[in-house]
């Protein structure tokens, strides 16, 4: 199957992480009171960045695996078509 | 305790739903044969199957229930993981998977038919199919109730101009449609892929919660100092049921939970075993539960610790009302313990037990904690993680149901009679169609079950009890079937029946302390009182297993065994073992199994 689950996981974490980190960066200046409940830590920003890092790694390895699968299969598919 | 969610919280939920359905659509073009739909074409890599293996079990009851139990009993709840799940997962991977995967059975009931006969399979298939749709319905009901309590959909319903009572209907409808959508489109592969996605999302949503909570209470030391006594130890006082929070003694715990219940669940429940059966090779199938065991071991820190943190935090008082975002502190909250509020009756007053103390709503531990610590933004992620856990549990039930229905009920019993009336060709396409139909029908029945649960809470409790009786002895049947070639079909069937009867009888004759006779037990006579409901459950399982084991052996000796030739690949002593001879020792499943068990022992020692 050529859908590697790491690719959609990477994409989901990149978009959610980006959203959280962006929101955290903006609210850091506009609404710091928001973070009173999270013990003064801007968890949106920090956790958003962690999610971006995880998402990027997942996406990279998923894409690499798909590419590695596609390369040799290209040559085999031409050979099978020749046989046919 | 209504929360006010902002646009970003809803956006996070919508993005998640879009991805979940997107995976279903992306997989649709691969669903060409029934093997693709029901078994993922046996093509899933071990790590994916492994994460799906625990994620399918990580439904509503697990996440909400384990935190609730943590708030009630403390770290002893981890016995469900470190004593129960891990050894069982190592066992199913190392010793049972060769027969499940190697026999080429498409489901657990089908293995029973190959090993024993039609009637044993029928009993298992029908009770299992009924159980899956009811538990997915119960799961849906719990989720909808939580959404109502938290007020997640209130603004949505208001914007659509519907009355507030529609929040419940909308919650059921949305969760059913999304789960149905992605399972219908992409079959088991879609369920498995989404379970992996949900696994990471659940970790992402709960990890910051535990981190903030632990930081707040002052680490492990601070947490235990603020919790009731005994909450920090898993084994202390286990020799006597009166000296530990669970109300169980060590034999009931080790035999009941550690052996019968845990091995029974992880080794015979098709819901989880199906994930391993979809693996791409025998080695991957054996690795699946072992890989799953690693995160499973760490999960107590994500799902049980929030319960302890919720109890350790100070109980809100009326004086707290003005701060914390001008939320009014209710009577139920001030009468609670820590962040856990008291239960509120329909008339708005606090529910009291027979001793006049408030009854606590432990199920709210995780939701309350999410609201307490998470700011707008992360709150959306936390709630999405909660929804993800509900959905992965539901989808797990639906995929297990559609397979058992198609192969073990429809193909086995219904197809021939129908063909006599309306002649048709049972092609592979026909079974694929039946799988789609069963997915749809299973979801519809689940929704109906959710409404039954909402109307008659006692019916659900009763049904769960019946399923518990039916499942309790199964482990004995499988162990004898796989490891004793002399076990016969009649032995298995009558053993199973007597085990079910024994479980029922044990429940009918015993009662947990402080309960009234009836659905809790002792509906014939009260011969013995257990210290807790948990102790009663453990001993019901032990009795069921014991009786099934003994009766199966006796009847097997009285009946004719099957010739060895028919049992090759189905029984341990008649199957070639050394499957992984090409692998270096450190890559063999056995090595991973030993590592996993040693790690689990270490955790037991650390938290003794």
B190 to chain A nearest CA, in Å? 10
- Mean pLDDT, residues B472-486 taken together: 90
Q: Considering the domain boundaries, does residue A80 fall inside one?
A: no
> With contact defined as beta carbons under 8 Å apart, do B381 and B12 qualify?
yes
Over 60: is that where the pLDDT of B314 sits? yes
Over 50: is that where the pLDDT of A82 sits? no
> With contact defined as beta carbons under 8 Å apart, do B275 and B52 qualify?
yes
B529 to chain A nearest CA, in Å? 46
pLDDT at residue number B209: 93
pLDDT at residue number A78: 38
Q: Which of residues 279-308 of B touch A (CB under 8 A)?
A: none
Over 60: is that where the pLDDT of B100 sits? yes
Alpha-carbon dihedral of residues A65, A66, A72, A77, nearest 10 degrees? 160
- Whether residue A39 and residue B26 make contact (CB cut-off 8 A), yes or no, is no
In this predicted model, what pLDDT tens digit does every residue of B185-244 receive, in sequence order? 999 999 999 999 999 999 999 999 999 999 988 888 888 888 787 787 778 777 777 777
- Whether residue B375 and residue A43 make contact (CB cut-off 8 A), yes or no, is yes
- Mean pLDDT, residues B293-300 taken together: 90
A38 to chain B nearest CA, in Å? 5
B307 to chain A nearest CA, in Å? 18
| CB-side neighbour CA atoms (13 Å) of B359 | 10
Residue among B22, B30, B377 minimizing CB distance to A1: B30
Q: Considering the domain boundaries, does residue A57 fall inside one?
A: yes
Q: Which of A52-61, B155-164, B317-326, B505-514 has the lowest mean pLDDT?
A: B317-326
- Whether residue A8 and residue B41 make contact (CB cut-off 8 A), yes or no, is no
B43 to chain A nearest CA, in Å? 8
- Mean pLDDT, residues B560-569 taken together: 86
- Whether residue A19 and residue B8 make contact (CB cut-off 8 A), yes or no, is yes
Distance CA B234, CA B248 (A): 12
Distance CA B358, CA B334 (A): 11
pLDDT at residue number B254: 79
pLDDT at residue number B548: 93
Nearest CA in chain A to B7: A23
Write out chain B residues lying below 8 Å of A37, CB-based: 324, 372-375
Over 70: is that where the pLDDT of B389 sits? yes
pLDDT at residue number A77: 41
> With contact defined as beta carbons under 8 Å apart, do A24 and A48 qualify?
yes
Nearest CA in chain B to A11: B19
- Whether residue B374 and residue A38 make contact (CB cut-off 8 A), yes or no, is yes
- ipTM exceeding the 0.85 mark: yes
Tell me whether A65 touches chain B (CB under 8 Å). no
Distance CA B336, CA B314 (A): 10
- Average pLDDT of chain B, as a whole number: 85
Tell me the sheet residues that pair with B344. B350
Tell me whether A27 touches chain B (CB under 8 Å). yes
Considering only CA atoms, give the Rg of chain A: 20
pLDDT at residue number B457: 66
Nearest CA in chain A to B374: A38
In this predicted model, what pLDDT tens digit does every residue of B317-356 receive, in sequence order? 766 554 444 456 677 777 777 788 888 877 777 877 777 7
- Whether residue A16 and residue B16 make contact (CB cut-off 8 A), yes or no, is yes
Q: Percent of chain B, pLDDT > 70? A: 96
Tell me whether A14 touches chain B (CB under 8 Å). no
Using DSSP, state whether B104 is helix, strand or coil: coil
Residue among B43, B216, B375 minimizing CB distance to A35: B375
Q: Considering the domain boundaries, does residue A82 fall inside one?
A: no
Write out chain B residues lying below 8 Å of A49, CB-based: none
Closest CA to B264 of B99, B471, B95: B471
Tell me whether B23 touches chain A (CB under 8 Å). yes
Nearest CA in chain B to A43: B378
Write out chain B residues lying below 8 Å of A41, CB-based: 212
Over 70: is that where the pLDDT of A2 sits? no
Write out chain B residues lying below 8 Å of A35, CB-based: 375
Q: Mutating which of A10, A14, A37 best tests the B interface, going by the most B Cβ atoms within 10 A?
A: A37
- Mean pLDDT, residues B299-306 taken together: 90
- Mean pLDDT, residues B498-510 taken together: 89
Q: Considering the domain boundaries, does residue A67 fall inside one?
A: yes
* pLDDT-derived band at B402, boundaries 50, 70, 90: very high
A43 to chain B nearest CA, in Å? 7
Please give the tally of structural domains in chain A. Answer: 1
Handedness of CA B109, B112, B113, B117 (dihedral sign): negative
A82 to chain B nearest CA, in Å? 25
Kindly state the tokens that stand for B215. 């930081």
Helix and strand totals (H; E) in chain A: 2, 0
Nearest CA in chain A to B203: A51
pLDDT at residue number B326: 43
Contact partners, residue B582, CB within 8 Å, separation at least 6? none
> With contact defined as beta carbons under 8 Å apart, do B222 and B78 qualify?
no
Kindly state the tokens that stand for A57. 């790694």
Q: What is the largest CA-CA distance in chain B?
A: 78
pLDDT at residue number B40: 87
Q: Mutating which of B8, B36, B326, B375 best tests the A interface, going by the most A Cβ atoms within 10 A?
A: B375
Write out chain A residues lying below 8 Å of B204, CB-based: 13, 16, 47, 51, 54
- Whether residue A47 and residue B27 make contact (CB cut-off 8 A), yes or no, is no
- Mean pLDDT, residues A3-22 taken together: 93
- Whether residue A12 and residue B26 make contact (CB cut-off 8 A), yes or no, is no
Over 70: is that where the pLDDT of B3 sits? no
Q: Considering the domain boundaries, does residue A79 fall inside one?
A: no
Over 60: is that where the pLDDT of A74 sits? no
Over 90: is that where the pLDDT of B578 sits? no
Kindly state the tokens that stand for B63. 């996440």
- Whether residue B377 and residue A44 make contact (CB cut-off 8 A), yes or no, is yes
- Whether residue A16 and residue B15 make contact (CB cut-off 8 A), yes or no, is yes
* pLDDT-derived band at B577, boundaries 50, 70, 90: low
A72: burial class by Cβ within 10 Å (0-12, 13-18, 19+)?
A: exposed
Alpha-carbon dihedral of residues B152, B156, B157, B160, nearest 10 degrees? 180
Please give the residue range of the domain that contains residue A26.
Answer: 6-74
> With contact defined as beta carbons under 8 Å apart, do B97 and B104 qualify?
no
Write out chain A residues lying below 8 Å of B324, CB-based: 37
Q: Considering the domain boundaries, does residue A1 fall inside one?
A: no
pLDDT at residue number B498: 93
* pLDDT-derived band at A72, boundaries 50, 70, 90: low
- Whether residue B376 and residue A34 make contact (CB cut-off 8 A), yes or no, is yes
Give alpha helix (H) positions in B410-532.
415-421, 428-455, 457-471, 474-483, 489-509
Tell me the sheet residues that pair with B521. B518
Phi first, then psi: give them for residue B359, nearest 5 degrees. -85, 125
Residue among B43, B324, B373 minimizing CB distance to A1: B43
Alpha-carbon dihedral of residues B134, B138, B140, B146, nearest 10 degrees? 180
- Whether residue A12 and residue B15 make contact (CB cut-off 8 A), yes or no, is yes
């Amino acid at each position: 199957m050529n859908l590697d689950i790491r690719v959609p996981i990477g994409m989901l974490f990149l978009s959610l992480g980006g959203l959280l980190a962006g929101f955290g960066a903006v609210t850091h200046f506009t609404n710091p009171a928001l973070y009173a409940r999270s013990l003064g830590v801007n968890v949106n920003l920090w956790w958003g960045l962690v999610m971006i890092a995880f998402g990027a790694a997942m996406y990279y390895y998923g894409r690499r695996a798909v590419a590695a699968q596609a390369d040799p299969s290209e040559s085999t598919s031409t050979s099978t078509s020749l046989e046919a | 305790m209504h929360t006010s969610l902002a646009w970003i919280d809803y956006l996070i939920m919508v993005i998640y739903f879009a991805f979940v359905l997107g995976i279903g659509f992306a997989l649709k073009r691969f669903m060409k044969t029934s093997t693709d739909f029901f078994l993922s074409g046996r093509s899933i890599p071990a790590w994916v199957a492994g994460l799906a293996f625990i994620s399918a079990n990580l439904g509503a009851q697990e996440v909400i229930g384990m935190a609730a139990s943590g708030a009630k009993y403390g770290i002893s709840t981890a016995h469900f993981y470190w004593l129960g799940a891990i050894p069982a997962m190592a066992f199913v991977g190392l010793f049972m998977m060769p027969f499940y995967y190697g026999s080429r059975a498409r489901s657990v009931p089908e293995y029973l038919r190959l090993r024993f006969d039609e009637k044993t399979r029928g009993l298992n298939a029908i009770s299992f199919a009924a159980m899956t749709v009811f538990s997915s319905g119960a799961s849906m009901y719990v989720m909808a109730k939580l959404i109502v309590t938290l007020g997640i959909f209130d603004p949505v319903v208001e914007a659509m101009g519907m009355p507030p009572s529609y929040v419940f209907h909308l919650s059921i409808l949305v969760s059913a449609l999304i789960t149905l959508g992605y399972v219908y489109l992409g079959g088991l592969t879609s369920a498995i892929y989404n379970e992996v996605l949900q696994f990471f999302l659940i970790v992402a949503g709960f990890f910051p919660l535990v981190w903030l909570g632990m930081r707040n209470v002052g680490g492990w030391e601070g947490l235990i100092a603020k919790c009731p006594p005994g909450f920090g130890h898993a084994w202390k006082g286990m020799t006597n049921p009166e000296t530990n929070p669970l109300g169980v003694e060590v034999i009931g715990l080790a035999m009941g939970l550690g052996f019968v219940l845990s091995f029974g669940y992880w080794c015979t429940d098709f819901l989880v075993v199906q994930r391993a059966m979809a693996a791409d090779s025998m080695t991957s199938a054996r690795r699946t539960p072992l890989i799953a065991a690693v995160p499973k071991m760490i999960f107590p820190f994500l799902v049980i610790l929030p319960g302890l943190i919720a109890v350790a935090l100070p109980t809100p008082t009326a004086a707290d009302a003005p701060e914390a975002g001008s939320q009014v502190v209710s009577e139920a909250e001030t009468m609670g313990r820590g962040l856990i509020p008291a239960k509120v009756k329909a008339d708005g007053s606090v529910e009291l037990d027979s001793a006049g103390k408030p009854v606590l709503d432990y199920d709210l531990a995780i939701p309350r904690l999410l609201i307490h610590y998470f700011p707008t933004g992360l709150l959306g992620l936390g709630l999405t993680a909660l929804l993800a856990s509900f959905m992965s549990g539901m989808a797990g039930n639906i995929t297990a149901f559609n397979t058992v229905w198609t192969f073990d009920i429809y193909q086995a019993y219904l197809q021939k009679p129908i063909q006599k009336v309306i002649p048709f060709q049972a092609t592979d396409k026909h079974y694929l169609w039946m799988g789609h139909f069963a997915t749809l029908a299973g979801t519809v029945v689940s929704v109906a079950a959710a409404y039954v649960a909402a109307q008659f809470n006692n019916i659900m409790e009763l049904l769960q009890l019946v399923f518990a009786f039916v499942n309790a002895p199964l482990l004995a049947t499988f162990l004898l079937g796989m490891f004793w070639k002399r076990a016969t079909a009649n032995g298995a069937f009558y053993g199973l029946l007597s085990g079910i009867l024994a479980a029922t009888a044990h429940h009918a004759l015993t009662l947990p302390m402080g309960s009234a006779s009836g659905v809790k037990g002792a509906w014939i006579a009260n011969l013995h009182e257990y210290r807790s409901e948990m102790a009663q459950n453990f001993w019901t399982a032990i009795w069921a297993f014991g009786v099934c084991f003994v009766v199966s052996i006796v009847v097997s000796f009285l009946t004719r065994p099957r010739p060895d030739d028919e049992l090759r690949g189905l029984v341990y002593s008649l199957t070639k073992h050394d499957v992984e001879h090409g692998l270096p020792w450190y890559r063999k499943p056995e090595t991973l199994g030993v590592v996993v068990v040693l790690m689990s022992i270490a955790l037991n020692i650390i938290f003794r």
